Amino acid sequence: MSGFLTFTVIGIFTGAAYAVAASGLVVTYSTSGIFNIAHGAVGMLMAFVYWELVVPMHVPQVVALPLVVLVLAPLFGALLERVVRGVRGNSLAVTLVVTVGIMVFLMGAVQGIWPATSRVAPTFFVHHSFRLLGVSVTFHQAITILVAVGIAVGLRFLLYRSRVGIAMRAVVDNRELAGLNGARPARVASLSWALGSSLAALAGILIAPQLQLNVLNLTLLVINAYAAAMVGRLRNLPMTFAGAVGIGLLQSYAVGYLPTTGGFWGSTPIQGLRLSIPVLVLFAVLLVLPQDRIEGARLALTRTAVGVPSLQRSILGGVVLVGAVAVGSGFLSAGNLVRMGIGLALGLIMLSLVPLTGWGGRVSLCQMTFAGLGAFAMARWGQGGSVIGLCAAVALAGAVGAVVSLFVVRLRGLYLALATMAFATAMDNMFFPAPFAFGFDGSVHVPRPSLLGLHVGGNRSFVIFLSVVFALISVGLYALRRGRFGRLLAATKDSEAACATLGLSLTATKLSVFAFSAGLAGLAGALFGGMQSVAGSTDFLMLQSLPILLALVLGGVATCSGALFGGLSLGALSVVVSYYPRLSFLQLLAPGLAPLTLARFPDGLIPGLLGRFQQAFPAPTGRGSDALDREEVPVVEVAPPLAEAVNG
């Protein structure tokens, strides 16, 4: 009985910390409409700042805590609101990517300022405790629980009983109307982000003694907070608090009562199950929560004319790409050739998101998971470069994608993105670390394929082969986009309600594009592993999917050239850093520039710059047979894609 009570106390303490983090997430989302992926990274940064003040600088905790939580964190949150203000009102992919860029930037900055070493996070009233029902409870745990309860009550009063809170909620519902009634939308938004950042900082400081001052662990704390926030549907603070405590208890009981061995499968899946409880709860909650009604037409602040090249133009572009790679690869050293090849393989993974996210408007955060399944299949069944390995990679990733899509087909927007994130995190914990997947040392050899007797074993030949595959898939994707299925994808992205009214099959379309995208990612993952020769279990973590989406959206999520730009940019950046290690800060700076770039070019750099070029040098009147089939998008685009989809 004493063991059960001990695990209960630990679970309530952990859940209270989750509740604080989730409350800040709810405040930010419910008052700004932007889901802040970087929420955990903000708490992680402030936990390190608090440690710096208390330990090396010997600032008393009674001074350091209010300085961080009430001064530094709110100022930082207000600064973040200024950064993301330019992308408010854009698509979910754009708003998520902006906060992803901030998260990556903060993680890199903290690793640069505080190099990895063992640090002990300061606790409140260290070595002081009391006994409750025979269980020892530290003062730090008691304070955490009381603070969480106080925050839940205080936020409820603030948002529903105070003039400021009502203004916060009014701004996200109708920014212009709230302004007409005397609210100051810009000031209210800054206040909400400042409050959310303060709560993130407090959660990071409270939970750091349990998780230690680890960049990854503290950043991923927010995933556990996601589950609690979704229990309250990002609106209900009491339900959010209850969900957080429930998740903390489940985790604590799992540590105490789940078996330590897994029989035939080994102990890794059991250990992964303990770690995956919050994301499994998140996945289950998303599946059972009632969904919003089918989406109607959506407003867009700015849209650039995104071209769909004709067959001739897409083939010409593919030939130019292969020729450029064949010539340029001859001037690269062996190491840089591998780096650029890895960038091209990452571009292939990004290419798998073009039909799903770019044309279908469905954001997936598990694409690297499908790529990892492809690498696993190639390593298992592609010995000697057998083409069977490539077929198995496509089949396995596509089949898993189809199964996942059966569960998430009814989800849309943010719910879908979080569900795919939960699936990817569960795979990170239970599948990829398992010995039967990537070996006991966490890595496997992935052979390079041999097609029609042509074995592309050399680095240069394999890089050229990757360019050929990229060109062929791009030509095929554009042909798909010009066809009925591609027009149906564009129509469902613009207005699901109108498509359902016209009798178009939304479910079949969603299932098909999700499985198709997963299969493409599996093929790309097999080639990515072949380019590296050795694939590791850490190459395909959920966190790796975030920079993939970031680079694609920056390049142009609806274009194959955007995927090429994103992949080659990552490869070129690694080449520059290899020559000039002092420029490694560019790997931190680049994600941080995402908000500024997308505020100016919301459809990505490639479409944005092309649109500027077309404005500066307009084409002659009339259309040739190889002209771009432009989708001229007004403020609301519904009728043209729908008419194309219905008429075929």
Model confidence over 638-648: pLDDT tens digits? 344 444 544 45
- If asked whether residues 65 and 170 sit together in one domain, one would say yes
In a domain, 461, yes or no: yes
Rounded to an integer, the average pLDDT of 606-620 is 78
pLDDT of the residue at 568: 92
Alpha-carbon distances of 466 from 189, 245, 458, 472, 528, rounded to whole Å:
46, 49, 12, 10, 9
The whole-number pLDDT of residue 619 equals 62
Residue 223 included in any domain: yes
Domain total for the chain? 2
User: What mean pLDDT is predicted for residues 375-380?
Assistant: 93
State the pLDDT at residue 221.
Answer: 75
Residue 585: the pLDDT is 65
CA distance 318 to 470: 8
In a domain, 644, yes or no: no
More confident call, 388 vs 600: 388
Does 323 score more than 70 pLDDT? yes
What was the pLDDT predicted at 253? 86
DSSP state of 233: T
Q: Residue 636 above 80 pLDDT?
A: no
499, 526, 541: which is the final residue of a domain?
A: 541
Last residue of a domain, one of 223, 249, 275: 249
Beta-carbon contacts of 474 under 8 Å, excluding residues fewer than 6 positions away, are: 314, 317, 318, 351, 560, 564
Using alpha carbons only, give the angle 519, 557, 584 rounded to the nearest 5 degrees.
Answer: 100
At 312, the pLDDT band (50, 70, 90 cuts) reads: very high
Q: How far apart are CA 15 and CA 429, in angstroms?
A: 20
- Band (pLDDT 50/70/90 cuts) for residue 175 is low
**Top-confidence residue, 447 or 257:** 447
**What pLDDT shows up at residue 479?**
94
| 255-259, 519-523, 562-566: the lowest-pLDDT one | 255-259
Q: 366 and 512 share a domain? A: yes
Residue 569 lies in a domain: no
More confident residue, 137 or 621: 137
Predicted pLDDT at 177:
56
CA-based nearest residue to 393, from 512, 515, 510, 527: 527
Which range (168-182, 217-231, 311-325, 371-385) has the least confidence?
168-182
- Pairing of β 306-308 and β 443-445: unpaired
pLDDT at 596 over 80: no
Q: Same domain for 245 and 162? A: yes
Please give the pLDDT value at position 635. Answer: 35
What is the pTM assigned to this prediction? Answer: 0.87
Task: For residue 19, give both structure tokens.
Answer: 């509740």
Same-domain pairing of 363 and 494: yes
- Residue 194 included in any domain: yes
Output the CA angle 85-88-93, nearest 5 degrees: 120
Q: Do residue 196 and residue 325 come from a single domain?
A: no
Domain ranges, residue 175:
2-125+132-249
| Gap between the Cα atoms of 72 and 49, Å rounded | 9
Q: Write the pLDDT tens digit of every residue in 178-203.
A: 555 556 666 777 888 899 899 999 99
For residue 625, tell me if it sits in a domain.
no
Rounded to an integer, the average pLDDT of 551-576 is 90
Nearest to 527 by CA among 440, 446, 413, 596: 446
H helices then E strands: how many in the chain? Answer: 29, 8
pLDDT in tens, 470-485: 999 999 999 999 998 8
Which of 15-19, 321-325, 475-479 is least confident?
15-19
Distance CA 42, CA 21 (A): 10
Task: Note whether 204 and 115 are same-domain residues.
Answer: yes
Mean pLDDT of 306-327: 90
Between 290 and 72, whose confidence is greater?
A: 72
For residue 58, give every residue at least 6 positions away whose Cβ sits within 8 Å of its Cβ, in sequence order, or none. Answer: none
Candidates 355, 348, 318, 317; CA nearest to 567 is: 348
- The pLDDT score that the predictor gives to residue 296 is 41
Rounded to the nearest 10 degrees, what angle do helices 367-381 and 334-351 cross at?
Answer: 120
The residue-averaged pLDDT of 10-37 equals 84
Residue 293 has pLDDT above 50, yes or no: no
Q: Give, for 382, the enclosing helix (H) or strand (E).
A: none
In whole angstroms, give the CA distance from residue 203 to residue 360.
37
**pLDDT at 631 (0 to 100):** 40
- Residue 436 token pair: 């039967």
Mean pLDDT of 455-459: 83
Which range of 49-63, 103-117, 143-157 scores highest in mean pLDDT? It is 49-63
CA-CA distance, 95 to 88, in Å (whole number)? 7
Average per-residue pLDDT for the chain: 82
User: 545-564: string of b/e by CB count within 10 Å (b at 16+)?
Assistant: bbbbbbbbbbbbbbbbbbbb
* pLDDT above 90 for 243: no
Q: What is the pLDDT of residue 632?
A: 38
390 and 495 belong to one structural domain: yes
Task: Assign 318 a pLDDT band (cuts: 50, 70, 90).
Answer: very high
Q: Which of 40, 42, 441, 433 is nearest to 274 (CA)?
A: 433
What does the pLDDT average to over 619-639? 43
More confident residue, 318 or 411: 318
Sign of the dihedral defined by the CA atoms of residues 362, 368, 369, 372, in that order: positive
Q: What is the average pLDDT across 542-562?
A: 90
Question: In whole angstroms, what is the distance from residue 244 CA to residue 250 CA?
Answer: 10
Q: Do residue 240 and residue 328 come from a single domain?
A: no
User: Mean pLDDT lowest for which of 155-169, 486-500, 596-610?
Assistant: 155-169
pLDDT tens sequence across 75-97? 999 998 888 877 776 777 888 88
Residues 244 and 314 in one domain: no
pLDDT at 178: 55
Judgement on whether residues 480 and 342 belong to the same structural domain of the protein = yes
Least confident of 160-164, 298-302, 592-596: 298-302
- Domain membership flag for residue 471: yes
Burial class (CB in 10 A: 0-12, 13-18, 19+), 479: middle
Band of the pLDDT at 391, cuts 50, 70, 90?
A: very high
Decide which of 484, 518, 541 is a domain's last residue.
Answer: 541
Whether residues 44 and 190 share a domain: the answer is: yes
Residue percentage of the chain with pLDDT more than 70: 85
In this predicted structure, what is the pLDDT of residue 306?
A: 60
Q: Which of 367-371, 385-389, 462-466 has the lowest mean pLDDT?
A: 385-389
One domain for residues 240 and 375: no
Q: Do the domain assignments include residue 277?
A: no
Distance, in Å, from the CA atom of 436 to the CA atom of 140, rounded to the nearest integer, reads 41
